[in-house]
Amino acid sequence: MANFMTTFGIWLAAFFTLSIFSFLYKDNPFYKFAEQVFVGLSASYWLVYTIYNILIPNLFNKLGTDFRGNLILLIPMILGILMLLRMVPKLQWLSRYPLALMIGTSAAMSMLLSFKSDFLSQMAATMVNPFSFSSPVDIVGTILMIVGTLCGVFFFYFSKKQEGFFKVPSKIGIWFLMVSFGASFGYTVMARISLLIGRLDFLLRDWLHIIK
Amino acid sequence: MKKISLLFITILMGLFPLAIWANQPVFTAEDMPWDDGTAVLLKWNLDSKADSLSLQKADSLGVYHEFFNEFSTQGQHIESSLEIGGTYKYRLIAYNRAAGDSSVFTGSATTKAQWFDMNKLSLLILLGLVCGAILYYIYLGRKGKELFIRRISGLDSMDEAIGRATEKGKPILFVPGLSDLGDIQTIAALNILSPLAQKSAEYGTELLVPCRSSMVMSAARETVKEAYMQAGRPDAYREENIFYLSDDQFGFVAGVDGIMLREQPAANFFLGAFWAESLILTETGFGTGAIQTAGTGQPHQLPFFVVTCDYTLIGEELYAASAYISRDPQQLGSLKGHDFGKLLVIILVLVGVVTEILGWGWFKHFFEGGGG
């Protein structure tokens, strides 16, 4: 029975892989079927996952075993219930409170975190003496890094028209950005090809046994 | 002249014992500065003949146990996870195994919690400056001062895209990224959704907003509903057009791809946080012939958007977008404040590079978190 289920699983996976690949030709009933099964299954999987891995262990179990010691959990529980009130038209407005709390706190938390990692740390990392290196390649590389960073930041300066003298650093900035995008593009395409190879490997080895 | 010589000799005589003291092996244990009172800082400067060490801590019975033995003649070790207000005794044994000799040093420290972490002083100062600038520009904006923002070409396309969708009688698709509400990119995307929804309400064009997270869906519904009301078209608002698809990354992508193929939206907007799915989404949109605008703060996904979309909002432009479109004085003021922050970065980096060349390391150290 176990052997049958393994074989059935491989055939099912091969069917869905080919159905998804069929999209490369055009939209067709096989793709539609695979897409809808995927969307439906994943939505239901995450629903069950949330209930069993978040709600039950973090809320219901804790409140059930030690209610007095976990009174603080009533706050997120009430906020969660307020969210569910979206389904009651007359009380729909109550769901704005948990939403406002969520947006406000996450914005504030991200601000501090981003300011430290994206602003301060990056700034300090660019404050380098390029002439402290012995290799000419390192010296040129560090000068390029400093110029690229400064011009890149200037490209996102919106308070000044990019014309005349200000056009120069802005142009240099976008060139640096585009070169880095190009490098990143090539790198990621290579990673995607390895994903394709993985899928073809599954079809040819596990399903068709062409590759031993 | 005689007085000067006397003074010189006195200074030299004073410095001589100081120099001898400075070369003496030292071991100190002190409360870790600017922390929450749970760590002790142990520092040592050993004799150059020492070849190994053993750092030990006394237990409640006064018996010493080794907890650190990585050797260096001059070094420090931070012992963390201690109790606030506790007094801890330490012993350092420096061995000179070649000579069969050892020296023992002792020290003790009481942990104490500090109210402020002065290592973050630079963060406080810069945050204060940028926030101050934002508040100042918001104040100016509210007073009616004209705040100039240069043209952002990616955003000028928005009217063109909505106009095209209206002409063709097809919907507009807006994907607010795949992240949750905790991501600032999602909040930026919802800020752009508001003026976009307002324009779609004015033109009477259908707006589709598939969401990966239920929280984002709720926030998007509120945003669109408010925008339709502001446009004076609350009757045109369709709650079912802002819907949840799936929490699964590629399940969501498969769903959005299906929508693009079947509904054939004339304009696609992909704004927010995107990961590996960016190319799959925009490539499908490109295939359907839709006019596409994308924007994200994820540097690794931007190349795919640049390649497949008509207009791309690169990083910071995503955050500037809602201010640019709405021309709301509050948002414009905030954007001008951000610009002040960027100018500050350029100046500080330039000064930092110059100070590093001159060998003044304190400037960089201050921004690295050595504020105290």
**Cα dihedral value A175, A179, A184, A186, nearest 10:** 140
Please write down the HEC assignment for all residues of B25-39.
Answer: CEEEEEECCCCECCC
The two counts, helices (H) then strands (E), for chain B are 11, 13
- Decide if B353 is inside a domain: no
Q: Which amino acid, one-letter code, is at B359?
A: G
**Chain B closest-CA separation from residue A184 CA (Å):** 6
- pLDDT of the residue at B371: 55
Domain locations in chain A as residue ranges = 128-212
Of A32, A107, A161, the CB nearest to B150: A161
- pLDDT of the residue at A129: 96
- pLDDT of the residue at B2: 64
CATH of the domain at B247: 3.40.50
Claim to verify: residue B273 and residue B218 sit in the same structural domain? yes
Rounded to whole angstroms, how far apart are CA atoms B71 and B53?
A: 6
Claim to verify: residue B76 and residue B159 sit in the same structural domain? no
Q: For B36-78, give the DSSP string.
A: BS--EEEEEE--TT--EEEEEEE-TTS-EEEEE----SEEEEE
- How many domains, chain B? 2
Claim to verify: residue B92 and residue B184 sit in the same structural domain? no
Claim to verify: residue B227 and residue B291 sit in the same structural domain? yes
How long is chain B? 372
- Decide if B316 is inside a domain: yes
> pTM for the full model?
0.81
By residue range, what is the domain housing residue B103?
26-110
Q: What is the pLDDT of residues A111-148, one digit of tens each?
A: 888 888 888 999 999 999 999 999 999 999 999 999 99
Q: Tens-digit pLDDT profile for chain B (372 aa)? A: 566 666 666 665 665 555 555 557 789 999 999 999 999 999 999 988 899 999 999 999 999 999 999 999 999 999 999 999 999 999 999 999 888 889 999 999 999 999 999 989 999 999 999 999 999 999 999 999 989 988 887 787 788 899 999 999 999 999 999 999 888 899 899 999 999 999 999 999 999 999 999 999 999 999 999 999 999 999 999 999 999 999 999 999 999 999 999 999 999 999 999 998 999 999 999 999 999 999 999 988 999 999 999 999 999 899 898 888 878 888 899 999 999 999 999 999 999 999 999 999 999 999 987 654
- Decide if B351 is inside a domain: no
Q: Is A86 on the interface with B (CB under 8 A)?
A: yes
Q: Is B353 on the interface with A (CB under 8 A)?
A: yes
- Decide if B355 is inside a domain: no
**Chain B closest-CA separation from residue A212 CA (Å):** 30
Rounded to whole angstroms, how far apart are CA atoms A139 and A151?
A: 18
Claim to verify: residue B75 and residue B154 sit in the same structural domain? no
- Which candidate in A158, A188, A196 is best for mutational testing of the B interface (most B CBs within 10 A)? A158
Q: Which amino acid, one-letter code, is at B271?
A: L
Note whether B189 and B348 are within 8 A (CB): no
- pLDDT of the residue at B129: 96
Claim to verify: residue B188 and residue B81 sit in the same structural domain? no
Put residue B81 in one of left, alpha, beta given phi > 0 → left and psi -120 to 50 → alpha: left
Claim to verify: residue B286 and residue B172 sit in the same structural domain? yes
- Decide if B20 is inside a domain: no
- pLDDT of the residue at B89: 96
- pLDDT of the residue at A103: 86
Give the DSSP H/E element, type plus range, for residue A34: helix A29-50
Claim to verify: residue B174 and residue B323 sit in the same structural domain? yes
Rounded to whole angstroms, how far apart are CA atoms B24 and B3?
A: 32
Claim to verify: residue B83 and residue B186 sit in the same structural domain? no
Note whether B370 and A126 are within 8 A (CB): no
Claim to verify: residue B95 and residue B180 sit in the same structural domain? no
Q: Which two tokens stand for residue B353?
A: 């590079």
Claim to verify: residue B186 and residue B300 sit in the same structural domain? yes
- In the β-sheet with B87-96, what is the strand arrangement from edge to edge? B64-68, B52-58, B87-96, B101-110
